[in-house]
Structure 1
Amino acid sequence: MKIAIYANDGRQSMAVSRKLYQKFADTHFIFDNDHPDIVVTVGGDGTLLSAFHKYAAIIDSVRFVSVHTGHLGFYTDWRDDEIDDLVISLQSDNGQSVSYPLLDIHVKYKGIAKAVNYLALNEATLKRSNATMVTDVYIGGEFFEKFRGDGLCVSTPTGSTAYNKSLGGAVIHPNLKVLQVTEISSINNRVFRTLSSPMIIAPSDWVTLVPSAGRDYSLTVDQQNYHGKQIEQLRFKISKKSIHFAKYRHMQFWRRVQDAFIGAEYEN
């Protein structure tokens, strides 16, 4: 089995990373940072997101395992004091995995003939920095509304627990391969109207945004930010690709949500 370790630069994460390197070397794992079978991330959810984007080109052939070195992350299953158990689990790996859907983002920029494609694990947002964002919204190719406000957030089911949730969006189980569109401070009055509610979009449909002209739009894809180019059109759709986590003791989704947002002290 080929292993890559991807850690943030925190002191604790680097210490755990060094221990993992030594334990993997002692148990004769092969290190391969370019084409690993397993990527072990050390840090938190931000580290996992960064690793996902690094290995997005080979996402179909790689599985992830996450070790948290701070507060429990939503994607992290192992604590930093459990690395011996993690190594033993990897030694007996049988290829099992649990998969979560991803988001395809297709962007057409003004003056650039070829569209650009991005892949998101959590969400993508479109905002405008110097004025109210105005964009036509199409669902499945049909015009739906003209949105005015601060921006729009399009999230995956696992991303529904991130920025989407803070915007008042629904939490969605990842077995439902849908995307969610959530408004960011929409303008609603006697003149301008939006649905003013999160929308759950079926996997067979897609969402298209055609923003008004301007170069001051900011597109975020998970932690990455793209700006400075005039966007003519964005299309969002649930990807045919998925992220795969090695299933050694992957926590059940609703238990993960409970641990992240409610806490054990509220259990009966």
Structure 2
Amino acid sequence: MNNNNCLINIVSNDRPISKETGRILREKLEKNGFTISETFDYKADLVVCIGGDGSFLRTLHEYRFPDIPIIGINTGHLGFFQELSPYQLDEFIFRYQKGDYVIQELHPVEALVCTRTSCIEIMGINEITIKGDKSRTIHLNISLDESFVEKFSGDGILVATPTGSTAYNYSLGGSIVDPRLNLLQITPIAPINTIAYRSFTSSVIVPKETAIKIHPEYTFENSILIVTDGMEHKYNEIVEIYLKMSKMKTKLLRLKNYDFWNKVKEKFL
């Protein structure tokens, strides 16, 4: 690798440990001949995100899922997305120069939210959640492709990617999915299952090509809150939500010894 031609974006949250890690990383990279962009450059070769999982997700959304490999340095708590710890900076630079890494491609889930006046497209790398505003119970008519599946009643549903299977989906009792699989998981949030209402009480796994269509009952069209990777969106008069796996790819740079199931054991067990 010709380091003089390699441009790197460094993004960090405002925590003192993140800022200090960013300063040290910049010095080390520049000493090794890399160029650090002063502002976010979409033509850069790499993005280094310093912070926790929340910072990682915010970076992807803020810069509109850039087509640049991204690697994370964990200065937060769980650090499931983050590949490195602050003490591994020299190892990272050495292995990056050697090309001792792989690129893991992730597909976000995307939703087209249609109101009575317009349609808005949103994306989530982990999940898109459809729930009742102000903790209201909602009723959603759910179809998969052209087949009506259920009239869901409860707090809401979550549509997760394999990457997001270990996040909110996991806390709801959904399945952990190996990220090498291309599929979507629909997980209920506090479903109501009585003689009056019948809802799935476990997650449903569907192939990546599946079109998920959701029609809220008209009396609830102003009671819907949509959350993408923890970021809330409120739209009035929602008549349909159409979800599918995006064709867009997010590129995560992983060192060659990365193993998903070792990460799961390390972080969860």
Q: TM-score, normalised by structure 1?
A: 0.90
Deviation (angstroms), 1:91:
2.5
Tell me the residue number matched to 1:266: none
Counterpart for residue 200 of structure 1 = 205
Matches within 5 A, 1:114-263: 115-130=119-134, 131-213=136-218, 214-249=221-256, 251-262=258-269
- Conserved in 1, the CA contact under 8 Å of 2:113 and 2:241? yes
SS of 2:19's partner is: helix
SS in 2 for 1:98: strand
Question: Alpha-carbon deviation of 1:72?
Answer: 4.5
Q: Which shows bigger deviation, 122-131 or 38-47?
A: 122-131
Helix, strand or coil at the partner of 1:196: coil
Q: More displaced, 71-80 or 155-164? A: 71-80
Equivalent-residue separation in structure 2 for 1:172 and 1:94 (angstroms): 26
Instruction: Select between 130-139 and 85-94 the one with higher mean Cα deviation.
Output: 85-94
Does structure 1 retain, via aligned residues, the 8 Å contact 2:100–2:255?
A: no
TM-score (structure 2 length as normaliser): 0.90
Closer, same or farther: CA 108–69 of 1 in aligned 2, 3 Å: same
Matched, 1:81 2:87: yes
Structure 1 distance, partners of 2:110, 2:23, is 35
Moved over 6 A (4+): none
1:177, distance to aligned residue in structure 2 (A): 0.4
| Residue 169 to residue 72, structure 1, CA distance change in 2 (3 Å) | closer
Counterpart AA for 1:169: G
Matched residue of 1:82: which SS? helix
| Structure 2 residues without counterparts, runs of 5 or longer | 1-5
Larger mean CA deviation between 149-158 and 127-136 belongs to 127-136
Q: Is the 8 A contact 1:56 1:119 kept in 2?
A: no
For 1:141, give the aligned amino acid. Answer: E
What corresponds to 2:55 in structure 1?
47
Paired position in structure 1 for 2:114: 108
1:64–1:246: 8 Å Cα contact kept in structure 2? Answer: yes
Deviation at 1:47, TM superposition (A): 1.2
Contact preservation (8 Å) 1:147, 1:186:
yes
Q: C-alpha separation between the residues in 2 aligned to 1:230 and 1:23?
A: 52
1:28 aligns with 2:33: yes
8 Å contact from structure 1 (residues 77, 250) kept in 2: no
1:46-68 CA distances to partner (integer Å, 9 max, x unpaired)?
A: 1111111123353xx30011111
Structure 1 105/25 Cα, relative in aligned 2: closer, same or farther at 3 Å? Answer: same
**Whole-angstrom CA distance in 2 between matches of 1:89 and 1:72:** 24
**Bigger Cα displacement from structure 2, 206-215 vs 8-17:** 206-215
Give the 3 Å change call, closer, same or farther, for CA 77–250 of structure 1 in structure 2.
farther
Q: Taking every aligned residue pair, what percent have the same amino acid on both sides? A: 29
CA displacement, residues 129-157 of structure 1 (integer Å, 9 cap, x when unaligned) = 25321110010122111111111011000
The reply to whether residue 17 of structure 1 matches residue 22 of structure 2 is yes
Gap change, CA 1:56 and 1:228, over 3 Å in 2 = closer
State whether residues 101 and 256 of structure 2, in contact with CA within 8 Å, keep that contact through their aligned partners in structure 1: no
2: CA distance between counterparts of 1:13 and 1:174?
28
**CA RMSD, 1 decimal:** 1.7
1:101·1:174 contact (CA, 8 Å) conserved in 2?
no
Residue 62 in structure 1 maps to residue 72 in structure 2: no
Consecutive unaligned residues of structure 1, counting only runs of 5 or more, are: 263-268
Equivalent residue pairs, number: 258
Paired with 1:26 and 1:54, the residues of 2 have a C-alpha distance of: 29
Read off the aligned partner of 1:127 and give its amino acid letter.
K
